[in-house]
Structure 1
Amino acid sequence: MSIQDNSRYHEVHARSLRDPLGFWGEAAAEIDWIEPAKKIFDPSLGLYGRWFAGAVVNTCYNALDRHVAGGRADQPALIHDSPLTNSVTTFTYAQMLREVQTLAAVMADFGVAKGDRVILYMPMVPEAVVAMLACARIGAVHSVVFGGFAAKELATRIEDAKPKLILSASCGLEPGRIVAYKPLLDEAIRLSSVKPQACIILQRPQQTCDLIKGRDHDWVTLRSAALAAGKTAACVPVSATDPLYILYTSGTTGKPKGVVRDNGGHLVALKWSMFNLYGIKPGEVWWCGSDIGWVVGHSYIVYAPLFHGATSIMYEGKPVGTPDAGALWRVIAQHKAVAHFTAPTAFRAIRKEDPVGKFIRQYDLSTFRTLFLAGERADPPTVEWAEQQLKVPVIDHWWQTETGWCIAGNPVGLGMLPVKHGSPTVPMPGYQVDVVDEAARPLPADTMGSIVIKLPMPPACLPTLWEQDERCREAYFDEFPGYYKTSDAGYKDADGYVYVMGRTDDIINVAGHRLSTGGMEEILASHPDVAECAVLGVKDAIKGEVPCGFLVLKAGVSRSPAEIEKDIVALVREKLGPVAAFKLAITVGRLPKTRSGKILRGTIKKIADGDPWTMPATIEDPKVLDEIGEALKGRV
């Protein structure tokens, strides 16, 4: 019997589309409600309807209090592992609850109440998780801005969210350097016409900062005073449709797009996903290697594992360089994690440094069952390498900031489906994923088009943008009536597997032929000397656009870059034919990336085309763009 025959996926997904009220009503039974929903789904509310209308709930109660009351008080809730400070700190559910109750009381003393916004500008420290849950406890709406984000970008978010309070730290840590946060925060507040009433600053011993009298307050002093006075804050009941948080999408220009997440739908979908999608049981150790500044960190470092009663690892380090390419295996072995969720970029970095996997064999990975990848397309060569090295299923899955959880994946808890390299597998329950043409007409199997999601979106997906209903409608719902526009391009095969080949603006038009850069990247990545690559369309006077490939070679490659570049051009010609017009492969030392590991293709394209460009706010290392400019000289 095949894996597919054992999977409950097909019946579960079919039921979720046929009977969404029954399906999500049952899933909602896993949540502790103060008042149950009057309607599981109310199509008359919001831009396309709202989930769990009339229900009253508290997200923090479901993450902490109910587990403390239900027998998990002494189980670890959070393990903070920081090779950058050479420390590991563990918090039980009871300890976590005490910290959250205390900080929530401190925030309430500053007048923060239900519906008020609080910006968190924090490094990867336990206090950041405490702060998110403290906001949820008192009904405040948190907005996490990636620590170290540029002052101007932070200012636009302060302007938009209008926070009563900002929680920050003196610094963040990167391998070999300290990033001072306080000067960035001060400059952002100066630039913004909206001023917070107060800032609470966590002084880190690696680098402290001066506090501005009357505005800034020391985190540890406030915490100690509240503990000494026995101050706590109770859970504030909120509507299921009230906002839990605002998360600004990266790389926005002008007025930022604040994706809103509600309380009820978020609780239900994320709790459902922990076992049914990821196969995690309560009490097990789970590691999501993201950052809390990104949606993946919100959903799967902080919220979902705690809703589920699991133990979550929070990691302040890198996949390589803290101290070496064995960092991930050390964390998994030391804490006995059963599953890890990271970006494909992390694996490409490890593969580049340790192509034969010698570090992997230095650790006891006997508890480890599954590796999940998301954030960028997981190219088949990287997936195959990980499968061979780890001997566990490697599951690519696809989702967006806007959805808050997986759109297409391989449901481990329902029974895994056969893996097809290059595909994140199938739509999750609640998602009807279609591939359509410009007129929103569904396209046949294996035909490239725009990937869209039939309305209504399932629970946890964005109901709107913060105070911008009209902009949300225009950005996501107008172009394809009755659908949510993902802005991703791809196709579905005859088995219903989804293939996401790139953003719709990454599909290049070569002399009238629409070609996928993702498909070309797959060919480049299959070359044995290539660790990482990016393909983008550059301007061409005759064909409009032609593809240009950027290659990062594996460590220890003996052949010359020029030889490998020649190989690559021949390989694309052989696999795609002359129609691809692929003649340019350029070797570079590294690719520019956001801090979440996404390759900044748009910026590389602007540099290659000679167009004006601005430094992306989310870039990990700005110097790499100069290196790209150098490599392009005389080549385009």
Structure 2
Amino acid sequence: MMGYQETFRASIEEPETFWREAATAIDWHRAPERVLDGTAAPFYRWYPDGQLNACHNALDRHVQAGHGDRAALIYDSPVTGTKKIYTYSQMLEEVARFAGALTKIGVGHGDRVVIYMPMVPEAAIAMLACARIGAVHSVVFGGFAPNELAIRIDDAAPKAVVTASCGIEGTRIIEYKPLLERAFELADHSPDHCIVLQRPQAVAELGDRDLDWSEMIATAKPVACVPVVSTDPLYILYTSGTTGKPKGVVRDTGGYAVALAWSMRAIYDVGPGETMFSASDVGWVVGHSYIVYGPLLAGATTVFFEGKPVGTPDPGQFWRVIAENQVKALFTAPTSLRAIKKEDSEGSFLDDYDLSSLSTVFLAGERLDPETLRWTQDRLGIPVIDHWWQTETGWPVAANLVGREPLPVKPGSASVAVPGWNITVVDAVGGPVPRGTDGTILLKLPLPPGALTTLWNDDERYISSYLSEYPGYYATGDGGHIDDDGYVFIMGRTDDVINVAGHRLSTGTMEEALAAHPAVAECAVIGVADPLKGQLPRGFVVLKAGDHHDEATVVADLIALVRNRIGAVAALKDISIVPALPKTRSGKILRKTMRGIADGADESAPSTIEDIAVLDALRPVLRRD
């Protein structure tokens, strides 16, 4: 195989040749003759005349090739004490039967199905069953509050909703059915049916529109795959919008399958029979791409983990999963490793497990601070790869191609541009900036296969949100720079760049300085309104468990540390020690919500139920009550 530079150059200079070859890794019902259709630019379409089925590529073809006995999905749930292995043949049987159940209630090609479930295998089964019959799934994280769920139901207008009777967060049982019923009350759209997976931890009372998952499966007949056009939507996945209304990212079928299949080998170096553990949730893009579709397209084994990295029951939880299942690649968020480090800073739990199968740790979802990188590398002794992408992109934009030519790791960098992604950095007026200079990160059009094609029922918003400010480019909303070696450094959202008395400062750079203190487990810096200087930074720091430093001394040390590393211009003098920071399930700190509360503006609760208590505890500190 070609090395990184040759591969990248080929993808940029001859994209149609590059992606035509990549498409040969996928089974096509009708092979595409055209690779890229730009006649309706900026709405580009990949493989427009091809036909395929994503479920066939994820399951059927592996069984047909004689690999039915290979493990497809490992369900590991420390919160319920359950572990179950599904072979490819077993997954195919379950998916084909549930697809038959959906067909029986009238769900077909193009219909939407909202999936509101915890991390149980049935979530993946429901997703693949939709793909099997050409229906469009829209997974909503099971911890979303009723109002957030109602907004998504109204936008997607699903024919059916698939849910479970409850989810489990640590030691708490969260009943989903009451939340779903409240969402139905708030929504204008009314789905025809609601399929409920009954869990023994909390059995739901079923109403007139409700159907029991087990009863439906018992009487359903398996159905075959329905070929769909490559450009048909596979799913809608909602991401936060600046107006408060979520944006329904539309993912096509063919381009997505090609991109994921290519990335599994080139980036993650995971192939048939090897195991990938992506510690996320199916409600997020990582769950779609690298818990469900990516590993199964590659013929690999995926781990479905229901739990948290610590507290269920110990900080060695991730290491246990890796050792028991011979995991080759771990994909998680830096916040998970910081949580482990906070409880087990010496890494003593590592000694209890054989981690010889683990080759690489991949981190994404937030900036990887150098201290967490060093801690993980020192403890595991393997490459720890930071990489960057978004819900909209669907797969990595910047990464280290471990499967092609592993490159040296640079602390603070999300690695290099992935083949297919043409990254540029511009200043406030759209002009290119010199290497090493921070600016706004753009992606040149057309975006490669697998990226969003538009927003659900909102082409105009797609253009205004991403394409209008810099014609010919997709605006990522992230800021950073590219160094002389081509390494990409993501310093945070452009709205996380604060303006202090005319100086543009990155809160990410300040967080990096705070995280270097030996007492700090994790931190966040936000910009708050100031009548004199426009904005001032405020820092919030969580100390490591068992740390006995005097808090006043730590704060003084941190202020000096930022001043020494960044300079007095940073003006970070306001630092609070807090017990926890509010986060999404994927590990992203809710900085925007924190800013709103601190500025006395939007005080709405976050979408994830588990973070309401954390945010409520933090609110008096943010408001200085």
Q: Please tell me the TM-score bracket, short chain as reference.
A: over 0.9
Question: Please, what TM-score do these two structures have when normalized by structure 1?
Answer: 0.97
Deviation at 1:195, TM superposition (A): 0.8
- Counterparts of 1:425-464 in structure 2 under 5 Å? 425-464=415-454
Deviation at 1:387, TM superposition (A): 0.3
Which of the residues 33, 38, 42 maps onto 1:43? 38
Read off the aligned partner of 2:484 and give its amino acid letter: A
Tell me if structure 2 keeps the 8 A contact 1:51–1:265. yes
- Cα distance in 2 for residues equivalent to 1:368 and 1:26: 30
* C-alpha spacing 1:387/1:561, structure 2 compared with 1 (3 Å): same
- Cα distance in 1 for residues equivalent to 2:126 and 2:162: 8
Where in structure 2 are there 5+ consecutive unaligned residues? Answer: none
Which of the residues 568, 574, 599 maps onto 1:578? 568
Q: Which residue of 1 aligns with 2:579?
A: 589
- Counterparts of 1:271-290 in structure 2 under 5 Å? 271-290=261-280
SS in 1 for 2:101: helix
Q: Which residue of 2 aligns with 1:177?
A: 172
Read off the aligned partner of 2:375 and give its amino acid letter: W
Read off the aligned partner of 1:220 and give its amino acid letter: S
SS in 2 for 1:457: coil
* C-alpha spacing 1:444/1:565, structure 2 compared with 1 (3 Å): same
Deviation at 1:606, TM superposition (A): 2.2
- Counterparts of 1:363-442 in structure 2 under 5 Å? 363-442=353-432
Q: Flag as ranges the 4+ runs of structure 1 deviating above 6 A.
A: none
- Counterparts of 1:45-60 in structure 2 under 5 Å? 45=40, 47-60=42-55
- Counterparts of 1:146-295 in structure 2 under 5 Å? 146-213=141-208, 215-226=209-220, 231-250=221-240, 254-295=244-285
Deviation at 1:19, TM superposition (A): 0.4
Can you list the C-alpha shifts for 1:129-153, whole angstroms capped at 9, x where unaligned? 0000000000000000111311111
Tell me if structure 2 keeps the 8 A contact 1:546–1:582. yes
* C-alpha spacing 1:545/1:253, structure 2 compared with 1 (3 Å): closer
Q: Which residue of 1 aligns with 2:464?
A: 474
Read off the aligned partner of 1:505 and give its amino acid letter: D
The range that moved more, 184-193 or 481-490, is 184-193
Read off the aligned partner of 2:154 and give its amino acid letter: E
- Cα distance in 2 for residues equivalent to 1:335 and 1:361: 17
Tell me if structure 1 keeps the 8 A contact 2:600–2:623. no
Q: Which residue of 2 aligns with 1:74?
A: 69
Q: Which residue of 2 aligns with 1:137?
A: 132
Q: Which residue of 2 aligns with 1:104?
A: 99
Deviation at 1:48, TM superposition (A): 3.4
Q: Which residue of 1 aligns with 2:596?
A: 606
The percent of aligned pairs where both chains have the same amino acid is 57
- Cα distance in 2 for residues equivalent to 1:443 and 1:60: 44
Which of the residues 345, 354, 370 maps onto 1:355? 345
Read off the aligned partner of 1:269 and give its amino acid letter: A
Tell me if structure 1 keeps the 8 A contact 2:593–2:602. no
- Cα distance in 2 for residues equivalent to 1:445 and 1:264: 35
SS in 2 for 1:287: strand
Tell me, yes or no, if structure 1 residue 338 matches structure 2 residue 333: no
Tell me, yes or no, if structure 1 residue 322 matches structure 2 residue 301: no
Deviation at 1:557, TM superposition (A): 1.2
- Cα distance in 1 for residues equivalent to 2:63 and 2:309: 33
Can you list the C-alpha shifts for 1:181-232, whole angstroms capped at 9, x where unaligned? 001111111221211111110000000011002x101100111122xxxx11
Read off the aligned partner of 2:549 and give its amino acid letter: R
- Counterparts of 1:293-308 in structure 2 under 5 Å? 293-308=283-298
Q: Which residue of 2 aligns with 1:124?
A: 119
SS in 2 for 1:398: coil
Tell me if structure 2 keeps the 8 A contact 1:594–1:619. no
- Cα distance in 1 for residues equivalent to 2:314 and 2:597: 32
Deviation at 1:38, TM superposition (A): 2.7
Tell me if structure 1 keeps the 8 A contact 2:361–2:385. yes
Deviation at 1:416, TM superposition (A): 0.7
- Cα distance in 2 for residues equivalent to 1:162 and 1:66: 32
Read off the aligned partner of 2:38 and give its amino acid letter: P
Can you list the C-alpha shifts for 1:292-351, whole angstroms capped at 9, x where unaligned? 000000000000100000000000000001111110000000111011000111011011
CA RMSD in angstroms comes to: 1.3
SS in 2 for 1:598: coil
Question: Please, what TM-score do these two structures have when normalized by structure 2?
Answer: 0.98
Tell me if structure 2 keeps the 8 A contact 1:33–1:55. yes
